[in-house]
């Protein structure tokens, strides 16, 4: 299995993919770097990123992030037109790429982006090998979330 990951603090988080946690059972996590352009880093510092509709495509021994939307700042891109949804290469070690490829090909997992965050001044993306949830699994997740909310309300009242 992958390394045990510590949860990143909210100050380091840029964007979360909450839909991935709802739609999938997340099994194994990997931390990947991103090949970014300068204007993208500026927009990430401003917090203008969205991972909701993004997915990871594996081809030719490389991994790419598709569908992630990084909104350009009006001041950062004056001399060319940036593409907010361009594909971005993921930077992973060869062994990690091999694990991801084998999980997707042999074991039927899906590779989904989970969290975009800062780590020592660099942008990192947490990706996970995941299995799709059935409808009854999603209902159980909603029930658990509602129960946790009710517990918090009860504890606040006391």
Contact between residue 106 and residue 98 where contact means Cβ atoms under 8 Å apart: no
State the residue for tokens 């990997």: 30
For the chain, the average pLDDT equals: 84
Domains, the chain, in order of start with CATH, read: 13-133 (2.40.280.10)
The contacts of residue 130 (CB under 8 Å, 6+ apart) are: 20, 24, 25, 26, 27, 109, 110, 111, 112
CA gyration radius, the chain: 18
Question: At 132, is the pLDDT very low, low, confident or very high (cuts 50, 70, 90)?
Answer: confident
Contact between residue 63 and residue 34 where contact means Cβ atoms under 8 Å apart: no
What's the rounded Cα separation, in Å, for the pair 2 and 129? 10
Percent of the chain with pLDDT over 90: 25
**Token output for 45:** 């510092």
Q: What pLDDT shows up at residue 5? A: 54
Closest CA to 85 of 64, 101, 100, 114: 64
- Write out pLDDT tens, residues 79-101: 777 777 788 999 999 999 988 88
- Is residue 6 predicted with pLDDT exceeding 80? no
Q: What pLDDT shows up at residue 89? A: 92
What's the rounded Cα separation, in Å, for the pair 121 and 114? 19
> Which has more confidence, 147 or 4?
147
What's the rounded Cα separation, in Å, for the pair 67 and 5? 25
């Amino acid at each position: 299995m992958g390394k045990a990951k510590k949860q990143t603090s909210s100050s380091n988080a840029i964007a979360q993919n909450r839909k991935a946690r709802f739609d999938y059972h997340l099994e194994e996590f990997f931390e990947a770097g991103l090949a970014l352009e300068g204007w993208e880093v500026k927009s990430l510092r401003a917090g203008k990123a969205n991972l909701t509709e993004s997915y990871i495509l594996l081809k030719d021994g490389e991994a790419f992030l598709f569908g992630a939307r990084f909104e350009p700042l009006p001041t950062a891109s004056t001399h060319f037109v940036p593409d907010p949804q361009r594909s971005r290469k993921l930077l992973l070690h060869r062994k990690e790429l091999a694990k991801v490829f084998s999980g997707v090909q042999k074991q039927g997992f899906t590779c989904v982006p989970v969290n975009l965050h800062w780590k020592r001044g660099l942008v990192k993306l947490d990706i996970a090998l995941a299995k799709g949830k059935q409808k009854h699994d999603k209902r159980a997740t909603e029930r658990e979330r509602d129960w946790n909310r009710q517990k918090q309300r009860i504890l606040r009242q006391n």
